Amino acid sequence: MSAITEASTFCIRPAVAADAAGLLQMMRELAAFEGYLAEFRVNVEDLLARGLDAVSPQFRAYVAATPTGNLLAYAVLNEVAFTYDLRPDWRLKELYVTGPARQLGVGRTLMQTVIADARQYGCGRLKWDVLPGNSNAKRFYRQLGGEPVKDWEAWVLQFTP
């Protein structure tokens, strides 16, 4: 079966412990694309201990998987417990689709699942960041109804290890 044919048949599901190695590989690909691979420190044990096999997970993850178990895409989210309206926010930390799965609807289906689950969970908002020059991502998110935040600036305080 070709990569394209296999990628065209997939399901979206929560990530499980058995996905850790494949998830890590895609996370490294995203880190390379976004330019922070040299600082990337996540390993399989972290993914298991902090989320995929944790009693109190620090993140939730979804994957797009083929019937044979190959991972095509992933989304990682964090929850902000509640805000001014007492509804939680989900923060999309990462969304990545592998090369062979791009333009096949995998990312759209993954995001639609995340959006539906966020609504079902009672979230007030789904938030995410986009690299300024990533026009493809901006176009994709606009098609889903997303829009840039104009009222706030992103700020960070870096802590050295």
Amino acid at 53: D
Q: Report the CATH superfamily, name and number, of domain 3-143.
A: Gcn5-related N-acetyltransferase (GNAT) (3.40.630.30)
Looking at beta carbons, which pairs linking 76-80 to residues 24 or more positions away fall under 8 Å? 77/114
Tens-digit pLDDT profile for residues 96-110: 999 999 999 999 999
Predicted model pTM: 0.91
pLDDT at position 6, please? 62
* Residue segments in the chain with a per-residue pLDDT below the cut of 70: 1-7
Domain chopping of the chain, boundaries: 3-143
pLDDT at position 8, please? 72
Tens-digit pLDDT profile for residues 139-148: 999 999 999 9
Question: What's the rounded Cα separation, in Å, for the pair 34 and 54?
Answer: 28
